[in-house]
Chain A
Amino acid sequence: MVANQVLSEVEYRVVGKRPIRPDGVDKVTGRAQYGSDLRLTGTLQAKILRSPHAHAKIKSIDTSLAEAHPGVRAVITGKDLPLSAKLANAAPGEISDSDRQRMGFQANNFLAGDKVLYKGHAVAAVAAVDSNSAEAALALIKVEYEELPPVINVKDAMGEGSALLHENLHTSSLGETSEKPSNVASYMLFEKGDVEQGFSQSDIVIEREYETASVHQGYIEPHTATAHWNADGQLNIWCSTQGSFVVRATTSEVLQYPISKIKVTPMEIGGGFGGKVTCYQEPVVAVLSKKTGQPVKLVMSRTEVFEASGPAPGSWMRVKLGANKDGKLISGKVTLAFEAGAFPGSPVLPGSTCSLACYDVPNGLNEAYDVVVNKPKTAAYRAPGSPQAAFAVESVVDELCQELNMDPIEFRLLNASKEGTRKVEGPVFGKIGLIECLEAARNHEHYKTPLTGVNQARGIAAGFWMNRGFHSSCNITVNQDGTVNLTMGSVDIGGTRASISQQAAETLGIEYADVKPTIVDTDSIGYTMVTGGSRTSFATGWAAILASEDVKQQMRERASKIWETSVDDIEYKDGVISHQSDPELQFTFAELARQLNGTGGTVTGQANVDPSGEGNSFGVHLVDVEVDRDTGKTTVLRYTAIQDVGKAVHPSYVEGQMQGGAVQGIGWALNEEYFFNDNGHMMNSSFLDYRMPTALDLPMIDTVIVEVANPGHPYGVRGVGEVPIVPPLPAVASAVSRAIGVRMQKLPVTPGSILEALW
């Protein structure tokens, strides 16, 4: 096994080290409390009745028999959601058309309105004394459907004669709204330079179409939510979520209930990857709790997770690239059409902004279609939109390299985005590390090791994801023994309790072990945006840094009070507070902490941030595969993931993000897909036939952490969590394509599709 490498520019005392995560012991002993571990006295179990049809009108719903079941305490349908009721009862003109549509879409994914739009769409919800009673009650609910033709393919959905999912959805296109309704919710276009002129100047032009299937984030913990609508009107929610404040805001909107009366406690979360940024259950259990006066708990089954949460969109894409004979890219045109699922809002726009981001191409054009189809509403999945787009663009780049007989790394170095490169849609890159990643790939032992077998090949790809800032809040309180309590609202999905504690410890000059982090509920911390978007170590880290600076300032002020000197004479360095000229006047952090209660009380530092200065993330991955030409089976022989992370606060968890994302990407490339039959029903909604990689399907995933410090963060941190899923799709597809001599243009590259390509 090759050792993982960290190519570090700057060394710190705590940042950059590998301490044990604070929540680790609870997790290895089974003590950590996840959403469905919650035990509240008198909890009722909820279950959802779901549509058996991909597309149908609801003619009637009769819940009377279910309500009469002895174990049942409440049954609700869409009309019981206050937001739906508001829309139904609003006076003409009271709500704008666009608001009405947006609110309707939001409410209807919790419980359907007058139509069901995918198999699995929630139609009714039951709360009962136990889950068997709830299940029995579902069978007693009578729903009359009028089936409609299902629209299950993005190209069909865009076609003239297609059935429409929403009678009032018009295409929003470059500031205009289409006259006729459509399944195309929006069309976007941005360009730089003149692509057609660029193509005419190119020596070589390649244009290809690509398709990908729906895939799921695959978190092992299903969605869960428990709500208790207390008799005093206080609504408490405990749930598995990446963003407790999003749950609060969404619940408030759907229930038309003030946020001050809603408290959301995020439980430990068993995976999210973007799929738990969206809410599916919280308003539903809240209404059931209000009706019954008891806590109500809802846990999705694995089938429901597949059929009724938010997969990543399938896509149809066309990419055209033009280059001169020396390999310099001149022009690039990328068309993306993504399946949004039942309601608008696929990540086709971020996918577009990522598609050409790795390349400094003088002429570029992106057009993007957001298209509704009768499939579950898509949600975010790790770098949403970028993996699909990278599969298409990087595959064409790989073909260009083959045509030009050019080394794939040299091609990318020649064309790589760097500081000052302007993206097609406008932003200009600051300091970024793509070139450093490409050089690290070229220097890596993996790249220098020849392949040994006849059916083996190597794939290389680059990938991009922008990072986010957004709101985070952090409080740090000093304890009398010199330790600090750090509270934040950022749910920990990958090790951020550790990375944020490290940033606080570094700033305060104290030990990592002396920082005690806690993730708290929405009543106990300021507004904090989701854990996602590669933002948590960056933005919540920023909040922790500023809160630490606040603590330092207050400690200096306290010392000045104790020593009766001016605060300007007091330094704070490496966890020691000292008078700049009198060597007798010195406290360690712990010594001063002991004095706090006696000199005015404890010290709490605080910061609310919405930082800009976030970096951008680039990754370059190498993969060696072997294809069995008789069976179509692909074996991943070797994998190396290289990424610029700015500064790896906790290198082990950064490696973990790189390895985990790479393996999700390998699964996406090789075996994962939603099989839909002609009726739009998912046929493989279990882990048996939705084939995620197991330990036996993979080699070790070697990593190289490149550190090109982000100037916009005190420790140079960039977001790391999302980029790793982007390069593997094209890297694996290119490797397989090279191994069999046929360019694979559809994902997943299954054994069956490889055999078809060979025949």
Chain B
Amino acid sequence: MPGLVHVETTINGNQVNFLCEPRQSLLECLRDVLGMTGTKEGCNDGNCGACTVLMDGRIVTSCLVLAVEAQGKELTTIEGIASAEGLHPVQQAFLENASLQCGICTPGFIVATKALLDREPDADEGRIRHWLAGNLCRCTGYDKIVRAVLDAEEKMKS
């Protein structure tokens, strides 16, 4: 039985250390080892996007990343999106546009949206839908989510 591995990583700007088994996913360690339950599990096989986090600037499904692979990486989770000054414009846009109902998919969408707008601040509806196709929502039908992303673009410009 392989021993526990010591992982050193950066999460939301903070140095974090934890022990884990090699078989544990990053999702499992975020939630169960580090108590960071904002990232959600919907399917555990990369098909719903609820577990989306940023890893070295790219969105990934954390259920398909081994926790040991986070060694030396920079991670951003939903807990790191807001700042001391307040909510991120993407979060504010989701609230104002009523873009969440049950909210279970919302952390994944917000992290994915932030990643998009940091790279493509003028993404149009088609590009937004394409970028977010890996995030499933069953409550909203996506309409108000897309509107929130477009609204967030406006907010981030001003």
Q: Which residues of A line the B interface, CB within 8 A? A: 18, 20-21, 23-34, 36-37, 39, 132, 217-222, 268-273, 299, 301-302, 493-495, 650, 652-653, 655-656, 659-664, 686-688, 692-698, 700-701
The reply to whether B101 and A660 form a contact with Cβ atoms under 8 Å apart is yes
The reply to whether A659 and B141 form a contact with Cβ atoms under 8 Å apart is yes
Nearest chain-A residue to B138 (Cβ)?
A218
A697–B143 Cα distance when bound, in Å, is 12
Kindly list chain A residues whose C-beta atoms are within 8 Å of the C-beta of B137: 220, 695
Kindly list chain B residues whose C-beta atoms are within 8 Å of the C-beta of A29: 38, 78-79, 81-82, 87, 91
The reply to whether A271 and B146 form a contact with Cβ atoms under 8 Å apart is no
Q: Which 9 A-B pairs have the closest CB atoms?
A: A30-B38, A270-B104, A27-B103, A663-B141, A652-B98, A30-B78, A659-B141, A687-B47, A696-B133
Taking A28-B87, A302-B45, A659-B140 as contacts, is the C-beta distance between A37 and B102 under 8 angstroms?
A: no
User: Is B4 in the interface zone, CB < 8 Å from A?
Assistant: no
The reply to whether B43 and A687 form a contact with Cβ atoms under 8 Å apart is yes
User: Is B62 in the interface zone, CB < 8 Å from A?
Assistant: no
The reply to whether B133 and A659 form a contact with Cβ atoms under 8 Å apart is no
Kindly list chain A residues whose C-beta atoms are within 8 Å of the C-beta of B140: 656, 659-660, 663
- A contact patch SS: loop
Interface size on B, residues (CB 8 A): 56
User: Is B19 in the interface zone, CB < 8 Å from A?
Assistant: no
17 CB contacts below 8 A, A to B, read A27-B106, A28-B87, A30-B36, A30-B39, A30-B78, A217-B138, A219-B138, A221-B40, A221-B42, A270-B40, A302-B43, A495-B101, A655-B144, A663-B142, A694-B132, A695-B145, A698-B129
User: Is B135 in the interface zone, CB < 8 Å from A?
Assistant: yes
The reply to whether B101 and A656 form a contact with Cβ atoms under 8 Å apart is yes
User: Is B35 in the interface zone, CB < 8 Å from A?
Assistant: yes
The reply to whether B35 and A39 form a contact with Cβ atoms under 8 Å apart is yes
Kindly list chain B residues whose C-beta atoms are within 8 Å of the C-beta of A273: 138
The reply to whether B141 and A662 form a contact with Cβ atoms under 8 Å apart is yes
The reply to whether B101 and A301 form a contact with Cβ atoms under 8 Å apart is no
A686–B87 Cα distance when bound, in Å, is 34
A269–B37 Cα distance when bound, in Å, is 14
Kindly list chain A residues whose C-beta atoms are within 8 Å of the C-beta of B110: 28
Given contacts A222-B41, A493-B139, 12 further A-B contacts (CB under 8 A): A20-B96, A24-B100, A29-B78, A30-B79, A36-B41, A222-B42, A270-B40, A270-B42, A652-B98, A659-B142, A659-B143, A662-B141
The reply to whether B91 and A28 form a contact with Cβ atoms under 8 Å apart is yes
User: Is B26 in the interface zone, CB < 8 Å from A?
Assistant: no
Q: List which B21-61 residues lie within 8 A (CB) of chain A.
A: 23, 31, 35-45, 47-48, 50
A661–B137 Cα distance when bound, in Å, is 12
A24–B106 Cα distance when bound, in Å, is 10
The reply to whether B48 and A687 form a contact with Cβ atoms under 8 Å apart is yes
Binary interface encoding of chain B residues 89-125 relative to chain A, with 1 for a CB under 8 A from any of its CBs, else 0: 0010011111011111111001000000000000001
Kindly list chain B residues whose C-beta atoms are within 8 Å of the C-beta of A220: 40, 42, 48, 50, 102, 104-105, 136-138
Nearest CB in chain A: distance from B78 CB, A: 4
The reply to whether A221 and B104 form a contact with Cβ atoms under 8 Å apart is yes
User: Is B9 in the interface zone, CB < 8 Å from A?
Assistant: no
User: Is B130 in the interface zone, CB < 8 Å from A?
Assistant: yes
A301–B63 Cα distance when bound, in Å, is 13
The reply to whether B48 and A25 form a contact with Cβ atoms under 8 Å apart is no
Nearest CB in chain B: distance from A436 CB, A: 23
Kindly list chain B residues whose C-beta atoms are within 8 Å of the C-beta of A25: 87, 95
The reply to whether A32 and B103 form a contact with Cβ atoms under 8 Å apart is yes
Kindly list chain A residues whose C-beta atoms are within 8 Å of the C-beta of B38: 29-31
The reply to whether B142 and A695 form a contact with Cβ atoms under 8 Å apart is yes
Nearest chain-A residue to B101 (Cβ)?
A494
Kindly list chain A residues whose C-beta atoms are within 8 Å of the C-beta of B42: 220-222, 270, 302, 687
The reply to whether B130 and A696 form a contact with Cβ atoms under 8 Å apart is yes
Taking A220-B42, A687-B47 as contacts, is the C-beta distance between A30 and B37 under 8 angstroms?
A: yes
The reply to whether B144 and A271 form a contact with Cβ atoms under 8 Å apart is no
The reply to whether A698 and B142 form a contact with Cβ atoms under 8 Å apart is yes
Kindly list chain B residues whose C-beta atoms are within 8 Å of the C-beta of A661: 141
A121–B79 Cα distance when bound, in Å, is 38
A21–B38 Cα distance when bound, in Å, is 19
Nearest chain-A residue to B79 (Cβ)?
A30
Taking A220-B48, A222-B42 as contacts, is the C-beta distance between A270 and B102 under 8 angstroms?
A: yes
Q: Of the candidates B48, B79, B102, B135, which one forms a contact with A695 in the assembled complex, judged by CB atoms under 8 Å apart?
A: B135
Kindly list chain A residues whose C-beta atoms are within 8 Å of the C-beta of B81: 29
Kindly list chain B residues whose C-beta atoms are within 8 Å of the C-beta of A494: 101-102, 139
A39–B77 Cα distance when bound, in Å, is 19
The reply to whether A656 and B95 form a contact with Cβ atoms under 8 Å apart is no
Nearest chain-B residue to A30 (Cβ)?
B38
The reply to whether B139 and A271 form a contact with Cβ atoms under 8 Å apart is yes
Q: Of the candidates A23, A660, A687, which one forms a contact with B103 in the assembled complex, judged by CB atoms under 8 Å apart?
A: A23
A304–B38 Cα distance when bound, in Å, is 23
Taking A270-B103, A270-B104, A664-B138 as contacts, is the C-beta distance between A686 and B143 under 8 angstroms?
A: no
The reply to whether B101 and A493 form a contact with Cβ atoms under 8 Å apart is yes
Kindly list chain B residues whose C-beta atoms are within 8 Å of the C-beta of A30: 36-39, 77-79, 107
